[in-house]
Structure 1
Amino acid sequence: MHHVAEALLALGGAFLVCGLIARAGVPIGLPTIPLFMLAGVLLGPHTPGFVLVGDPADLELVARLGLVFLFYLGLEFSLAQLTSGGRRLAVAAAVYLCLNIGGGLALGFALGWGTAEAFVVAGIVGISSSAIVTKLLVETRRLGNPETRVILGIVVIEDLFLALYLALLQPVLGGASGVLDAVVGVGVAFAFLLVLSVVARFGTRWVSALMRTRDEEIVVVLALGLAISTAGAGEHLGVSDAIGAFMIGLILASTPTARRLRQLTHPLRDGFGAIFFFHFGLTIDLGDVLAVLPQILVAAGTTVVLAVVAGIVAARLHRLGRVGAANIGLTVLTRGEFSLVLASLALAAGLDARLGSFAAGYVLVLAVLGPIAVYSSPRLARGIPRRLVPGGSPERDRTRRVPLDMDVGTSSLHELGTDLLQVRVLPGSRLHGVYMNELRLPDGATPGLLARDGTTSAVAPTTRLRTGDVLLVFTRPAERHDTERRILAVHRSGRLAHWLGDTGT
């Protein structure tokens, strides 16, 4: 019992310290990931002073849940959005990955830490942080900029690539003793991916049927069960649990429940993700980071150069100009969750211990440098020779400096204190033929948009619902339950539901 109390105090203290340090750092423009790591470093066993967690293993299981959430719930953009970019976007992402993975591999061999370590360094250096990138786009209010679609496309392709890269690295991380073991390891990893890909391609309707419930609690519990079980199965087969969680995320992202799931589980992702980064910080010795500081600075400088070159190539392909090139290259500059995950897996596999210190220092440097560079990108763009990015014009570059105040996603509704109901009129529903003024929704509930035959339009009191329509209703949380009951009553009993005694219960 005493051990349980100590564990709870340590976990609660970790959450509190992460929150307090993040609260102090976020207002001055620092992202949360390095702040959570810093909390672990300061209160870990390798730093003099108060030690909150003496043994990082005490938080390992909770930290691994954070790893599962980071990969499983890091899917903010659908595959349809990815493929809509066409060949130019694919080329831009391929150039970015080739430059950064190739540069990271060259750097890894130059460090002389070993062949296996060189491939891990390539992954640490080569993949940007989708969490920080997305956050920067929102904070800088650039979601409406023309280059943002390119940035998001690169991030999505990186997320897909990292699953493949982890599969390729599995023999290294699993400690394969020979060629045969390596081949078997890669084969198992790809077989596991293939099975999940088949489920994603042909089994989505069964997964959708499993998740089809209006009860939000059940949706969350089922999703967590699928994600954690698949991650555990992957770990049992010798495949990184991150791959299994990532693939389950792809499967669930294609179901009708995906939007609700992202909304409901984002707080869990953020909470457990904070513990993952805090746990990683517990393992870091600042003395070891200082010992590899020259390598960290060389890696950071190399990443800046390669990211800007990739941004110039992407801007040329999409004719975005110098500001667009700077925004692309500097926004995807930051490194975070994948670099730390890969370093953590490498340390667990018994590779060079310097990888952990290198990854921690590298992420800290770029996580601080990246946001500063992004906010300064319009000025830094002047350093890019105009002949390298001929597609833009001075006037267009100037207009891009004006931010567009636009936000997307369910977080916007949360900030407004509003819930969104999506009502689909299915065949046989008594909603068919009902006029909007006959719905008689409670005060505080407002019909918004109506989607019909591939088009959307605002609703009016005389708008008549038809089978196949999708109606969006905005409601205050306090009136949500009554609104749902009224819509259900009309669905079952028609416009006279109240007189027939149907209250939607």
Structure 2
Amino acid sequence: MHIGEDLIILGVLLVISYILGRLGKLIGLPSIPIYMIVGLLASPHTGWFPLNFESADIELIAVFGLILLLFSLGLEFDQEEFFDNAGKLLISGGSYVLINMGLGFAFGMMVGWGTREALVIAGMTGTSSSAIITKLLIELRRLANKETPMILGVTVVGDIFIAIYLAIVSVVLSGKTEVWPIVLQLSIAFLFLIVMFSLARWGGRVVSRLVRTKDDELFTILFFGLVVLFAGIGEIIGVTDAIGAFLIGVVLGASTYRGKIERVAVPLRDVFGAFFFLNFGLALNMAEFGSVIGIVLIAVVMTFALNIISGLLLARLHRMGLVEGLNSAAILVNRGEFTLILATLSIGAGLDERLQPFAGLYVLLMAILGPLFAARSERIGTALRRTKPKAHPRKVPRDPLLVEEIALVEAATAEIGSGVDHGTQRAVQRVVEQVRGPDDKPDQPREPPTDSMADFIADRFPPEDTEQKPDTRERPGDYT
């Protein structure tokens, strides 16, 4: 195939993605499943689309999309928030991974494909997609939300765990039994993580000096080269290219050039990210979905149920409400690139062939249902919060002395121009009413409060008699 035909095919796929993306926006569907559906329709396995295009033809571009998505996530990572709450986030991320992967492994054992297959299924159903999570947080404009630091923290913990998990799974699937090679590989991975996080934490000024340049073209080449370089380092040492890109994003995000990098990286991320999801759809084969559709539907229901429970527990742990819990569940429920990696490893290890169509259909359904749930989670949470019964206010007992003092102050400041007798009379009336309370009846006898200033006022200034009486007071003479 000539390069001209390749360019025409890519252009057609991207234009179709744009058209379907505009239609999807009308119903609140994000662009992620649109790219995957276009890739599925153009897949050589379907024959529905008059295109002859292989997934491997854009594999390298898709890798650029994946690492730029993770790089953007690291760039937006609030390390101050993470380090200040590292203990809580580790507990949150560990709890999330434990709940989802533990029950995922039990589900894999129930399927009956084998122990190694169950271990792979646990990773497929128990690990979130960092790329899709990043894309959703950006598209839904939730980077500034209250629950976003918690989601990012859980995602980072999950990514660190999946790096260790992939290293262990690779060894298990390869049949190796030596302990020291496994220990060495895990030690190198942990050392890499510690060095990069330490550099991001305390080396921000040094990094700013190293990347300082006024030439925008050279600056773009520099940061893109660093992303590709550290992605390759991460892949070689066993923590995956995505983790390497994320960590260099965290480091560059600690520099003073974070805003400048974002302005250049966002357009590149959007273009290459579309290729990543398009390539994922191209690798799927719809003819194999029928043999696993029942198991996939059970796995989808289980994943949503576990993530809703996990999201609400995480929100409660961080002292957040129902809306934040559902938002967290809707973002973390998405599955993607890690499931594809695990499917590739399982096929290379000679495991059950049904794992590949299971992974493809499972991720495709989750990539459609997950973003739809995420786009509506705020409205669902708000509606559920409004339907909660309101707690009745607790009746606070009245303090008679306090009520009397308040009434006397009001009497002293009211009706200044109408005379002392009228104001005092109303004060006494108010004191009696407030001390009795609204439930007391006036015809019931009641003992006057002891040591009450109201009694003193009533004796000193008795109420006026409204009846007309002859004036018998002695008038003084005129001594002018």
Q: TM-score, normalising length from structure 2?
A: 0.69
- C-alpha change, 1:286 and 1:78, in structure 2 (3 Å) is same
After TM superposition, list the pairs within 5 Å mapping 1:216-227 onto structure 2.
216-227=216-227
Aligned to 2:155: 158
Aligned to 1:313: 313
Aligned to 1:195: 192
Aligned to 1:24: 23
Equivalent position SS for 2:69 = helix
Equivalent position SS for 1:73 = helix
In 2, are the aligned partners of 1:136 and 1:371 still within 8 Å (CA)? Answer: yes
Q: Distance in 1 between matches of 2:319 and 2:230?
A: 42
Number of residue-to-residue matches in the alignment = 385
After TM superposition, list the pairs within 5 Å mapping 1:144-155 onto structure 2.
148-155=145-152
Tell whether 2:174 aligns with 1:172: no
Equivalent residue letter for 1:154: I
Q: Distance in 2 between matches of 1:393 and 1:220?
A: 55
Deviations 1:463-493 (A, max 9, x none): xxxxxxxxxxxxxxxxxxxxxxxxxxxxxxx
Answer with 1 or 2: which has the greater Rg. 2
After TM superposition, list the pairs within 5 Å mapping 1:351-430 onto structure 2.
351-374=351-374, 375=376, 378-379=379-380, 394=390
Deviations 1:350-402 (A, max 9, x none): 65443332233223323333344442665578779x9xxxxx9849xxxxxxx
Tell whether 2:116 aligns with 1:119: no
Equivalent residue letter for 1:335: R
- C-alpha change, 1:8 and 1:351, in structure 2 (3 Å) is farther
Aligned to 1:473: none
Q: Shift of residue 265 of structure 1?
A: 0.8
Aligned to 2:58: 59
Q: Shift of residue 342 of structure 1?
A: 4.4
Q: Which runs of 5+ in 1 are unaligned?
A: 387-391, 396-505
Equivalent position SS for 2:147 = helix
Equivalent position SS for 1:15 = helix
Equivalent position SS for 1:179 = coil
Equivalent position SS for 1:303 = helix
- C-alpha change, 1:343 and 1:273, in structure 2 (3 Å) is farther
In 2, are the aligned partners of 1:128 and 1:336 still within 8 Å (CA)? Answer: yes
After TM superposition, list the pairs within 5 Å mapping 1:130-149 onto structure 2.
130=130, 132-133=132-133, 148-149=145-146
- C-alpha change, 1:355 and 1:252, in structure 2 (3 Å) is farther
Q: Shift of residue 204 of structure 1?
A: 5.0
Aligned to 2:73: 74
- C-alpha change, 1:380 and 1:211, in structure 2 (3 Å) is closer
Equivalent position SS for 1:268 = helix
Q: Distance in 2 between matches of 1:86 and 1:200?
A: 12
How high is the sequence identity, in percent, across the aligned residues?
38
Q: Shift of residue 197 of structure 1?
A: 3.1
In 2, are the aligned partners of 1:173 and 1:346 still within 8 Å (CA)? Answer: no
Q: Distance in 2 between matches of 1:244 and 1:142?
A: 24
Q: Distance in 2 between matches of 1:352 and 1:71?
A: 31
Q: Which runs of 5+ in 2 are unaligned?
A: 392-480
In 2, are the aligned partners of 1:325 and 1:381 still within 8 Å (CA)? Answer: no
After TM superposition, list the pairs within 5 Å mapping 1:11-50 onto structure 2.
11-50=10-49
In 2, are the aligned partners of 1:34 and 1:363 still within 8 Å (CA)? Answer: no
Aligned to 1:480: none
Q: Distance in 1 between matches of 2:252 and 2:34?
A: 31
Equivalent position SS for 2:278 = helix
Q: Shift of residue 179 of structure 1?
A: 1.5
- C-alpha change, 1:204 and 1:186, in structure 2 (3 Å) is farther
- C-alpha change, 1:114 and 1:78, in structure 2 (3 Å) is farther
Q: Shift of residue 198 of structure 1?
A: 1.8
Q: Distance in 2 between matches of 1:117 and 1:278?
A: 27
Equivalent position SS for 2:174 = coil
Q: TM-score, normalising length from structure 1?
A: 0.66
Q: Distance in 2 between matches of 1:135 and 1:234?
A: 22
Task: Name the structure where strand makes up a greater proportion of residues.
Answer: 1
Task: Name the structure where helix makes up a greater proportion of residues.
Answer: 2
Aligned to 1:326: 326
Q: Distance in 2 between matches of 1:87 and 1:236?
A: 29
Q: Distance in 1 between matches of 2:190 and 2:64?
A: 20
- C-alpha change, 1:99 and 1:284, in structure 2 (3 Å) is same
In 2, are the aligned partners of 1:11 and 1:59 still within 8 Å (CA)? Answer: no
In 1, are the aligned partners of 2:252 and 2:258 still within 8 Å (CA)? Answer: yes
RMSD across aligned positions (CA): 3.4
Aligned to 2:293: 293
Aligned to 2:476: none
Between the two structures, name the one with larger relative contact order (CA 8 Å, sep ≥ 6).
Answer: 2
In 2, are the aligned partners of 1:322 and 1:382 still within 8 Å (CA)? Answer: no
Deviations 1:142-185 (A, max 9, x none): 677xxx433441333323431332233125347533122x7525
Q: Distance in 2 between matches of 1:235 and 1:217?
A: 27
- C-alpha change, 1:63 and 1:201, in structure 2 (3 Å) is same
